[in-house]
Chain A
């Protein structure tokens, strides 16, 4: 039995080796192996924590029993939660709109600077985006300090009364949005600048021959050519802004009267500071469906335009 089996097992081993060899020669296998470290990183640092957050969100406050959607049901009955939903939407949407507008305008300015000096400007304009937000927000905190605001100090000689930058709900919301726009606008600027550079010059020449005005060139040439990049940038920024934590945490810690809390900061307040981790996990997970809906709409539009092209 063993005598008979031996040759066949050797043959099988040879077959296995050659098929393994073939497998290793495939481009897709090599690509997979090269991507494997990254896949493992993503599984460990993104997929596992996300799954664990979902698990935590289904537990009771004492983390002793499964409550299904109980935490979400509880949240839906809380006024503060809906205030946080409103503020998160206000914060993210307003900030993204302003970042897009400012980025678009500045990208045009930079695009029109002669290429010799453009690099310098690009570098300088990227500075707010490059500095770690927690650090730059600290500098803003000093500028907005309730009692010793440097901005108020400068405004005083102009006869402008002390502005409660972080002390009144409206001003506090304005302040956190302003800082977010300051940090995020350079990202839009650089993306739009790249898009502008890829618009064929002939299109502008043709438009000029047709007698198009400055506005018509923007509306009928520039914007259609940049649509995809605008959509992707907006989506990316929307996700990042919704999930923001550091700016609000450092600047207002969600105050005054919870008027600047967004999902991230309120989840931290409830989960870590307040000791209700399942509820904190539920708060932070609540932004997933909102972002999923936004992503679906924006990406669907991109796919549609892609197939039109």
Chain B
């Protein structure tokens, strides 16, 4: 099969046209990518979501006359992570691959810079939040394109009835559907009081303290709310700071109101906690609510997704973006870029969000007010505040702003949750801080 490559010049011309033209003009009209393209996309949790992405890709492929093959790779059992590691070692694999949170920076040397794709997209679709930039842009280079599929917020999903009954909090009034939050009173102190009240009433908040990402993300957001950094942007270890002490102290008190087995929780535990009707609040994207809608409709009717409580240093919500990237050994890089641009168009993003039932969260500022989030229910508007439409909170990731190679280790080895559990179990604050400092010192090696 004869393959026609898109020249760089031609591709740049196409993307430049995109940044100036209105969205109505289809991007790919000037870029006739051709040849073969293999895609390794994240296998979506939400049933049917893959079909929409497949349809979009086929639409693009038909226009561009590109022979596309798609592999949907699950993240269950770290399959996607292992595939990425194997492709990196073998220097062979998919032309476009889904890279989770830390992976663009991990494989920075092997990825094709995407400035010519991302910068025009930002101009057109609005800025991306600082966490996306921290994770996807290293040394001035965009290493991958922020992906809609799989990107998510892990803010609170609360039971309306339980918060009202046990803690006297009307969460819908704080976060009304269709309008800006009135949540000045939604602080970490209020959160603690509510956690205590719900715990006493037998409806504890379901926040894990294990080593998987849901637990780490919550810990990261609470640490950020106190301005508690374990390592600063320069790479200096700042574990033994007042802010870290304050965050640990707060968490120790909070932990006494959480389920006893929280240190053994994994990413499924909080979902089960909500669906079982036991808990008044969990920290999760809307997947837990979606499962409740299917399996426990009465629980789902009482769920409300909203913003994080504010701490002394601000209001921080955990955000985990996915990216699409291209290896530098990919054979059809121009077609890969063209596809990524197509999938980042407003119409594509809107379809992807709808197909995921509102789970997927585009990173661009102009894409936070899609109809899906306003309409999803019951109760209607339950996801309205999920995409942070009023920039009410700073989207963050645990271990930032540490240099990536250190931050990734802090995150994957769950240093923050381990600190909390150690301190809660009676270890003196200084010993916990010493332990963390020593662990992090090890992560700094080159």
Contact = CB atoms under 8 A, between A and B. Distances in A.
B408 A256 contact: no
Interface in A238-297: 252-258, 269-270, 272-277
A60 interface: yes
Interface in B265-279: 265-266, 269, 272-273, 276, 278
A74 B211 contact: no
A167 B78 contact: no
B264 A277 contact: no
A78 B445 CA distance: 12
B263 A255 contact: yes
Interface string B418-433: 1001100000000000
A172 B435 CA distance: 22
B405 A61 contact: yes
A164 B409 contact: no
A19 B258 CA distance: 81
A213 B278 CA distance: 60
Interface string A131-170: 0000000000000001110000000000000101011000
A277 B210 CA distance: 23
B446 A172 contact: no
Contacts of A308: none
A167 B210 CA distance: 9
Contact of B445 (A74, A172, A256): A74
B139 to A, nearest CB: 15
Contacts of B438: 79
Contact of A257 (B266, B418, B446): B418
A114 interface: no
A275 B210 contact: no
Q: By DSSP majority rule, is chain B's interface helix, strand, loop, or mixed? A: helix
Contacts of A78: 442
B439 interface: yes
A252 B409 contact: no
A253 B409 contact: no
Interface residues of A, number: 31
Interface residues of B, number: 36
A233 interface: no
A80 interface: yes
Interface in B226-241: none
A117 interface: no
B7 interface: no
A294 to B, nearest CB: 29
Contacts of B278: 147
Contact of A253 (B81, B211, B445): B211
Contacts of A79: 435, 438
A62 interface: yes
Given A146-B265, A147-B259, A255 B439 contact: no
Nearest to B102: A275
Nearest to B404: A275
Most central of A61, A79, A256, A269 by chain B CB within 10 Å: A256
A275 B445 CA distance: 13
A258 B263 contact: no
B184 interface: no
Contacts of B78: 272-273
Nearest to A275: B106
A40 to B, nearest CB: 20
B412 A253 contact: no
B269 A61 contact: no
B19 interface: no
Given A60-B446, A257-B421, A269 B413 contact: yes
Interface in B385-437: 405, 408-409, 412-413, 418, 421-422, 435
A213 to B, nearest CB: 48
A172 B264 CA distance: 9
Contact of B413 (A148, A252, A274): A274
A274 B408 contact: yes
Contacts of B21: none
A147 B211 contact: no
Contact of A256 (B102, B210, B439): B210
B313 interface: no
Most central of B212, B260, B435 by chain A CB within 10 Å: B260
Interface string B255-297: 0000111011110010011001010000000000000000000
B23 interface: no
Given A269-B413, A274-B412, A148 B272 contact: yes
Contact of B412 (A77, A162, A269): A269
6 closest Cβ contacts across the A-B interface? A146-B261, A167-B264, A256-B263, A167-B261, A146-B264, A166-B264
22 contacts: A61-B445, A61-B446, A62-B446, A74-B442, A78-B442, A79-B438, A146-B264, A146-B269, A147-B261, A147-B269, A148-B272, A164-B260, A164-B261, A252-B264, A253-B266, A257-B418, A269-B412, A269-B413, A274-B412, A275-B106, A275-B412, A277-B85
Interface of B: 78, 81-82, 85, 89, 102, 106, 210-212, 259-261, 263-266, 269, 272-273, 276, 278, 405, 408-409, 412-413, 418, 421-422, 435, 438-439, 442, 445-446
